[in-house]
């Protein structure tokens, strides 16, 4: 953990898709300025379709692990807490040591999609692209270049 970087924690219910993709995207866009973390209220393991959707952009999140929010609670100064689902927004801690901002992005859960793999993968792409757009906007508001292509 680099003390010069600001810590950003992405939180969702299962820490299997949305928060994992957000963690990978922030590292890709502005890893030199931010330290990205993700966690869930009830971790379910990294979803293979999240890994696949990110790989389409050339971002490898396959080594990331699903973590319980308790891993960071009281142990990590979180400058920005970004919650990527409504359920987590209602049930997660609202105060963190060092927190400057708490943001909620209610992104639909792609892991709940039904159908053939290609149909489900499309929901992961949609969530990924929505997170990427919100992150780029957030980075611009916070004066960080994205480095995105």
pLDDT digits (tens, 9 = 90+) for 90-101: 877 667 778 889
β partners of residue 37:
9
Assigned token pair, 68? 């319980």
User: Domain locations in the chain?
Assistant: 6-141
Distance CA 18, CA 10 (A): 9
Question: Cβ contacts of residue 99 below 8 Å, gap of 6+?
Answer: 78, 79, 80, 81
pTM of this prediction? 0.91
For the stretch 43-66, pLDDT in tens is: 999 999 999 999 999 999 999 999
Q: Identify which of 96, 87, 74, 80 has the alpha carbon closest to the alpha carbon of residue 23.
A: 80
- Give the pLDDT score at 50: 98
Distance CA 32, CA 13 (A): 27
Task: Indicate if the alpha-carbon torsion angle 72, 61, 138, 123 is positive or negative.
Answer: negative
What is 6-141's CATH superfamily? Response regulator (3.40.50.2300)
- As annotated, the active-site residues are 12, 85, 92
- Give the pLDDT score at 3: 57
Question: Cβ contacts of residue 51 below 8 Å, gap of 6+?
Answer: 60, 61, 62
CA distances from 16 to 58, 141, 148 (A): 19, 27, 24
């Amino acid at each position: 953990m680099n003390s010069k970087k600001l810590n950003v924690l992405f939180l969702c219910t299962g820490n299997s898709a949305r928060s994992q993709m957000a963690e990978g995207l922030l590292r890709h866009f502005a890893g030199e300025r931010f330290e990205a973390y993700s966690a869930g209220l009830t971790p379910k393991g990294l979803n293979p379709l999240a890994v696949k959707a990110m790989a389409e952009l050339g971002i490898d999140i396959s080594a990331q692990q699903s973590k319980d929010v308790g891993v960071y609670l009281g142990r990590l100064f979180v400058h920005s807490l970004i919650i990527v689902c409504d359920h987590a927004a209602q049930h997660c801690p609202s105060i963190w040591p060092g927190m400057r901002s708490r943001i909620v992005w209610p992104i639909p859960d792609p892991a709940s999609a039904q159908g053939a793999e290609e149909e489900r993968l499309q929901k992961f792409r949609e969530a990924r692209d929505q997170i990427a757009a919100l992150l780029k906007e957030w980075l611009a508001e916070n004066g960080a270049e994205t480095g995105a292509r």
